[in-house]
Chain A
């Protein structure tokens, strides 16, 4: 119908002089943008469905392709931007909720970019990471209030289950269903080789991941998919997923067409049925209920596994974190509103929740005011783009950081933000065999490892510059941070001074 015009986003530009009509792009594009001219051998393109995933650009043997923004000007209007008009058109046609993939793309303040790091000069020497040991080993789990010793060298205190990771960077939850098994496998292999952890998400555990369960965090989410005693006992950490930064207060919906045999087995649901995670856990309507679930999991695992509770960063996050700690959570993961997702209602993704920087700072300060920060572990999540973001998060008070988008980018993701369509050309956010086979775990785990190894090096370098040789002394060390261009209120919440002070 004529009233439903929505200009396309991109133009596929083919350099005819370079193109050898090999048809590679035709085979690669799951959105069917490239095609052979009817009955002919000439390759043509229809840009309507192009999402700028760059798969064709990357694979074209002659570099003949380029994607550019398609511009169709609207009359200038700062309020009624083209985006809102187009979304209205879409909803007027469909009557449905808008869906998006990946994290909040709106230009909200990114506090990482407004925080600067410190370095030593004169009064205090910087430390050369090539000469001196630089420790980034991190221990997750509940800590007793104090140590009791028989004498120097002999402890009496028995420690609750502790999980040692060789880097403060963990891979965040991505379920089998939302991403492919090959993508999960790549992360699992990387986690094992790096001495860190990956997170199965709420989709259960595929048998192929069993060799890696020693490095796995398994989730218990509101849908309880794939949860059974062996699942809980196989993992290093069990995580109760209360919320997700990309869609606080919202459940999940994996459409039936993505529930193939494998997904159905892992999730323990019938093939082809929709996998619905309710918005709340229907056995958790209050903090006491959370306590009961934590204790049930501890009983099911013989008190051998730390229990983590993952929540979305919402307005009252500090009080909620404190409540979780008191309910018995050993680890609390806070997911900021820029965290990624396989699919979320666009309105929720773009408007609900708060940035991880503020949530983390507020939660860490609150736990300290209550004198219980040192007894639990705090994991920050919700978009870490580089090692400096991680260093800033640790200095604000995190024990470790969950990363997902960055390792996905290492595996090929180009942030096209259409994970929800299930047509990911990079074989990540899809279950179609012809697409998932494009992602070879034997190669991709190395790229993920390289990325984290590079970040580890950079973290050590930054720490050395600060004169710190153990991540323990960076954690919560907010004097190492200064704000730039922030208001007094923002500085107060972050608990940092302004640059120049």
Chain B
């Protein structure tokens, strides 16, 4: 059977996220509890988490999480990494043996800074350099797969139910200011850990529920700009769309969200001239980046969290706030189990993406 990337596999899912906008830390057990409640929305063929703020002692280094199928793959990949980066630390990611998770690859992490000489010779900016190195490994090094490459953040994923994946990686030992989680219901059995979600590029991570009908239009749009959709998943293409719009075109997150979930023409025609001009230009320039069909997406980054839903609201996504914390989940009950009395609960609408900026981060930057 073909593995993920060689064939396109539709999937249903559960997603959840928690953020503390002031940067307060949340233990991994909370997000596990939330996603575990939606057990029936996954089928044990993929689960994963992204955690932000977990590596403060290495916050200026890229944290590469890598799956190795064999020692040979590790040897080759490390050769490449040590050449292109200055690696501060390399270690096996600690895991706990549990019966539900089996046949896994060897899982390593590296804290690394870019090799500046090589980067300058390649005439690339740092983000582009890292992305190209990651793509290179994932494309060309059979048996090695970098599934996380951000700073002070990390993805943890496996084939299994999300709560088992959380236990396997011992996520209750990690504290983060932003967590996202994903439980997957793929329509066949790829049995490949790299195919689990979140999907990550630099410090963007995406969890997503749905099967977009615009997939090939979006793929063929984004591949014009040097991306290669090797996984053939919706999550991958949506991540690249965000990465392209925000990193290459310099659009703010909420404008990028408008591109993906642009309002309908009926609505645009009724807007004020300024807004009409904005949305008409956006839909005209980025028609290939409009995402169609059922989806709910949570985009995590060092700057905060963005939640979007499809234009027709074909997939559920609930949001809630309590104090400095915001909660998101495919089902409201998955929020209430960790936050029984929220200040506010609402259903994320297609027209209204929710952006929760991380306030400490902005202060640091300004």
Interface, chain A (partner B; CB < 8 A): 120, 123-125, 127, 132-133, 135, 137, 139, 141, 143-144, 146-149, 151-155, 157, 159, 162, 368-369, 371-374, 466-470, 472-480
1/0 per residue, CB under 8 A from A, across B259-284: the answer is 00000111000000011011011111
15 further A-B contacts with Cβ under 8 Å, apart from A374-B224, A467-B293, A467-B294, are: A123-B10, A125-B294, A139-B284, A143-B284, A149-B278, A153-B278, A155-B277, A157-B285, A374-B287, A466-B213, A472-B288, A475-B287, A475-B288, A476-B220, A478-B220
Given A135-B264, A153-B274, A467-B213, are A472 and B290 neighbors across the interface (CB < 8 Å)? yes
Interface positions, chain B 285-341, Cβ under 8 Å from A, are 285-288, 290-294, 311-312, 314
A157 to B282, CA, bound (A): 10
Chain A hits for B284, CB < 8 A: 139, 141, 143, 159, 162
Most chain B CB inside 10 Å of its own CB: which residue of A144, A147, A159, A369: A147
User: Which residue of the partner chain, among A120, A143, A477, contacts B285 with CB atoms under 8 Å?
Assistant: A143
B89 on the A face (CB < 8 A): no
Complex: chain A residue closest to B9, CB-CB: A123
Contacting pair B215 A152 (CB below 8 A): no
Chain A hits for B10, CB < 8 A: 123-124
A374 to B285, CA, bound (A): 7
Instruction: Return A464 CB to nearest CB of chain B, in Å.
Output: 10
Contacting pair A123 B252 (CB below 8 A): no
Interface SS of chain A: loop
Chain A hits for B312, CB < 8 A: 127, 132, 469
Contacting pair B294 A133 (CB below 8 A): no
Contacting pair A152 B254 (CB below 8 A): yes
Instruction: Return A497 CB to nearest CB of chain B, in Å.
Output: 10
Contacting pair B285 A144 (CB below 8 A): yes
Contacting pair A152 B255 (CB below 8 A): yes
Interface size class, chain B: 35 or more
Chain B hits for A139, CB < 8 A: 280, 283-284, 287
B216 on the A face (CB < 8 A): yes
Contacting pair B283 A472 (CB below 8 A): yes
B106 on the A face (CB < 8 A): no
The 8 listed contacts between A and B (C-beta, < 8 Å) are A149-B255, A152-B255, A153-B278, A159-B281, A162-B284, A373-B224, A466-B213, A473-B290
A480 to B292, CA, bound (A): 13
Contacting pair A125 B314 (CB below 8 A): yes
The 4 closest A-B pairs by CB, nearest first: A473-B214, A473-B292, A479-B216, A467-B213
A365 to B196, CA, bound (A): 31
Complex: chain B residue closest to A371, CB-CB: B224
Chain A hits for B294, CB < 8 A: 124-125, 467
Contacting pair B277 A146 (CB below 8 A): no
Chain B hits for A478, CB < 8 A: 216, 220
Given A147-B249, A159-B284, A470-B290, are A152 and B258 neighbors across the interface (CB < 8 Å)? yes
A469 to B293, CA, bound (A): 8
Given A135-B265, A147-B282, are A476 and B292 neighbors across the interface (CB < 8 Å)? no
1/0 per residue, CB under 8 A from A, across B1-24: the answer is 000000010111000000000000
Chain A hits for B212, CB < 8 A: 124
Chain A hits for B213, CB < 8 A: 120, 124, 466-468, 473, 477
Instruction: Return A300 CB to nearest CB of chain B, in Å.
Output: 25
User: Which residue of the partner chain, among B216, B275, B287, contacts A480 with CB atoms under 8 Å?
Assistant: B216
Chain A hits for B252, CB < 8 A: 149, 151-152
Instruction: Return A430 CB to nearest CB of chain B, in Å.
Output: 41
1/0 per residue, CB under 8 A from A, across B25-45: the answer is 000000000000000000000
Given A149-B252, A162-B284, are A137 and B265 neighbors across the interface (CB < 8 Å)? yes
A139 to B293, CA, bound (A): 21
Chain A hits for B223, CB < 8 A: 368
Contacting pair B211 A124 (CB below 8 A): yes
Complex: chain A residue closest to B11, CB-CB: A123
Interface positions, chain B 209-238, Cβ under 8 Å from A, are 210-218, 220-221, 223-226
A372 to B250, CA, bound (A): 19
Chain B hits for A159, CB < 8 A: 280-281, 284
Instruction: Return B292 CB to nearest CB of chain A, in Å.
Output: 4
Contacting pair B293 A124 (CB below 8 A): yes
Chain A hits for B291, CB < 8 A: 473
A153 to B258, CA, bound (A): 9
Given A133-B264, A472-B287, A472-B288, are A147 and B251 neighbors across the interface (CB < 8 Å)? yes
Most chain A CB inside 10 Å of its own CB: which residue of B213, B252, B290, B292: B213
Chain A hits for B95, CB < 8 A: none
Most chain B CB inside 10 Å of its own CB: which residue of A369, A466, A479: A479
Chain B hits for A369, CB < 8 A: 224
B70 on the A face (CB < 8 A): no
B187 on the A face (CB < 8 A): yes
Contacting pair B288 A476 (CB below 8 A): yes
1/0 per residue, CB under 8 A from A, across B43-69: the answer is 000000000000000000000000000
A157 to B280, CA, bound (A): 11
Contacting pair B293 A468 (CB below 8 A): yes
Complex: chain A residue closest to B226, CB-CB: A371
Complex: chain A residue closest to B249, CB-CB: A146
Chain B hits for A154, CB < 8 A: 274, 278
Complex: chain A residue closest to B264, CB-CB: A133
A425 to B226, CA, bound (A): 56
Instruction: Return B264 CB to nearest CB of chain A, in Å.
Output: 5
Chain B hits for A157, CB < 8 A: 281, 285
Chain A hits for B254, CB < 8 A: 152
Contacting pair A153 B275 (CB below 8 A): yes
A143 to B221, CA, bound (A): 14
